[in-house]
Amino acid sequence: MANAMSRRLDKLDAERQKRLFESAAEEFAAHGFDGASLNRILEKSGMSKSSLYYYFDDKADLFTTMIERSLAVLFKEIGGFDPTALDAATFWYTFEELYRRAITVVDRNAWLVQFGGMFYRLRSDPRQGSATGRLFLAVRKWITLIIERGQALGVVRTDLPQSLLIDSTMSLLESLDRWVVAHWSQLKETEKDAMPQKHIALFRSLISSQPTGGAH
């Protein structure tokens, strides 16, 4: 159903999409997920309720889609990433550098942290959390490509089933992301600066073929 909805949304005029997502972002930022009103979003965006439900299943679907589209724009700002271009010498350093760029982007877009908190509260809600699943499915596909590339280069371990490496990496990624979202406002600049090296080191300890050694 979600894929069908996404294909429908792609046909919506770009200006109307922009107006809808801007109205939704303002509403969620002002009232949180639970307090956000679809009626107010419709009024601000000029979209009818029937049109909204043609493109989205419900409020959770609208929110998750808004997060996906926003992240796509921000990932472009961070810079393109091609797993097939990774090499053994710079494999782990590449992710440290991407992490550093991401921190810079988040510092300029504080709303990302606020929306991240809403996203994880929604994910923990058994009634509506399923809407967040497709974003994690997309992330899982990227993780799979990265692990496969790392194994081909000899920098990711092969002594465990690949599915276990993927599941473990996904779990660590979500745990770190939840922690960063929850503690971002209390972190000092020096602590943020240290996160890329320290957090990527956790992934290295988990899945690297040489977890404690190897130069950048």
Give me the chain's average pLDDT, please: 87
Q: 120 vs 53, 60, 159, 165, CA distance in Å? A: 24, 12, 33, 23
CATH of 1-57, one of 1.10.3720.10, 3.40.50.170, 3.40.710.10, 1.10.10.60: 1.10.10.60
- Read out DSSP for 68-106? HHHHHHHHHHH----GGG--TTTHHHHHHHHHHHHHHHH
pLDDT per position as a tens digit, 179-203: 999 999 999 999 999 999 999 999 9
Mean pLDDT of 200-210: 95
| The pLDDT of residue 215 is above 80 | no
Query: For the chain, what percent of residues have pLDDT higher than 70?
Result: 94
Mean pLDDT of 94-109: 91
pLDDT per position as a tens digit, 3-52: 555 567 777 788 888 888 888 888 888 888 889 999 999 999 999 999 88
Residue with tokens 């969620």: 28
pLDDT per position as a tens digit, 105-132: 888 887 788 888 888 888 887 777 677 7
| The pLDDT of residue 87 is above 50 | yes
- Residue of 59 and 204 predicted with greater confidence: 204
- Domain boundaries defined on the chain: 1-57, 79-216
| The pLDDT of residue 214 is above 60 | no
CATH of domain 79-216: 1.10.357
* 93 vs 88: CA distance, rounded Å: 10
Query: For the chain, what percent of residues have pLDDT higher than 90?
Result: 48
pLDDT at 44: 92
